[in-house]
């Protein structure tokens, strides 16, 4: 078992922004969270992370309601990479990655020897080992994004929730990052805008539209031409030109959103 949302809703400013969404992550698999701007992806991700509470419905971790668990216990299991990382003015790259270890430490206890190993491993996995001493504020947007991923890996989570982690990344780093995520032995939910990246790297995808879950299944099941037209308002051709078993989505024009 892992993270599950059962009919969760959330309102903001009196408006329903998530409406009765039920979703179970697949243990060890990468689930893509898709949907147009404002469809509720970040909100759902934050509910699953326990950062926001649902107005109704419940989120559970291994069957236990998240609201009944200690923050630290949730943080030992679930790592989150949000879109906008805070500006941590005077920290180095390694300092930021070390923040990932905080949930594993007893209050006021110094870092245990194994801690630094986890930090080093995370820096190496994200190709940042030679940047460890660089001040965070001097990094480019893409480098900051990778440091946030390294921080999440240093946390050694079992569930990893990523909100548009490929933003700011050049194409090679986008592929590197999603390949890394796909190889990790963790349960992962990743919000993405690029349907082709989702089709390439996700085992399972979930599609939101205006706060509702409209489809979930394999990329082939969910990313149909009709559904792409309905949800995104574009005309697309879905095929498998590379014969790699993954759908390729070619957008051919603006359509009408139902």
Ligand X SMILES: Nc1ncnc2c1ncn2[C@@H]1O[C@H](COP(=O)(O)OP(=O)(O)OP(=O)(O)O)[C@@H](O)[C@H]1O
Residues in contact with ligand X by CB under 6 A are: 12-13, 17, 35, 37-43
Token pair listed for 257? 């959103």
Distance CA 227, CA 14 (A): 29
Residues facing 196 on adjacent strands: none
- Count of beta carbons in the 10 Å neighbourhood of residue 255: 16
- By C-beta, is 37 or 140 nearer to ligand X? 37
- Label residues 110-130 b or e (16+ Cβ within 10 Å = b): eeeeebeebbebbbebbebee
Give the Cα separation of 66 and 173 in Å (integer). 33
Q: Cβ 135 to ligand X, closest distance in Å?
A: 28
Q: For ligand X, which is the closer residue by CB, 1 or 12? A: 12
Shortest spacing between CB 243 and ligand X, in angstroms: 31
CB nearer to ligand X: give 48 or 147.
48
In whole angstroms, how close is the CB of 13 to ligand X at the nearest point? 4
CB of residue 233 to ligand X, shortest distance in Å: 15
Nearer to ligand X, 11 or 224 (CB): 11
CB of 97 to ligand X, least distance (A): 25
Closer residue to ligand X, CB minimum distance, 156 or 164: 164
β-bridge partners, 111: none
Alpha helix locations (H) across 54-133? 71-77, 93-98, 113-125
Strand partners, 127: none
In whole angstroms, give the CA distance from residue 201 to residue 246. 9
């Amino acid at each position: 078992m892992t993270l599950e949302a059962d009919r969760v809703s959330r309102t903001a400013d009196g408006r329903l922004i998530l409406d009765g969404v039920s979703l179970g992550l697949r243990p060890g698999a990468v689930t893509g969270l898709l949907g147009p701007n404002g469809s509720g992806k970040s909100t759902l991700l934050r509910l699953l992370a326990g950062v926001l509470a649902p107005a109704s419905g419940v989120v559970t971790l291994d069957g236990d309601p998240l609201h009944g668990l200690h923050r630290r216990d949730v943080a030992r299991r679930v790592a989150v990479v949000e879109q906008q990382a805070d500006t941590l003015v005077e920290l180095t790259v390694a300092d930021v990655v070390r923040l990932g270890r905080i949930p594993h430490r007893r209050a006021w206890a110094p870092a245990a020897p194994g801690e630094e190993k986890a930090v080093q491993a995370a820096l190496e996995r994200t190709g940042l080992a030679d940047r460890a001493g660089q001040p965070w504020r001097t990094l480019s947007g893409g480098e900051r994004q990778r440091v946030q991923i390294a921080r999440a890996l240093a946390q050694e989570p079992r569930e990893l929730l990523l909100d548009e982690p490929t933003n700011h990344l050049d194409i090679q780093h986008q592929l590197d990052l999603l390949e890394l995520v796909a190889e990790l032995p963790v349960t992962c939910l990743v919000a993405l805008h690029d349907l082709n990246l989702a089709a390439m790297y996700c085992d399972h995808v979930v599609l939101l539209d205006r706060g509702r879950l409209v489809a979930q299944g394999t990329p082939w099941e969910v990313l149909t031409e009709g559904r792409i037209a309905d949800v995104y308002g574009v005309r697309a051709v879905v095929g498998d030109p590379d014969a790699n078993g993954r759908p390729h989505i070619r957008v051919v024009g603006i359509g009408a959103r139902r």
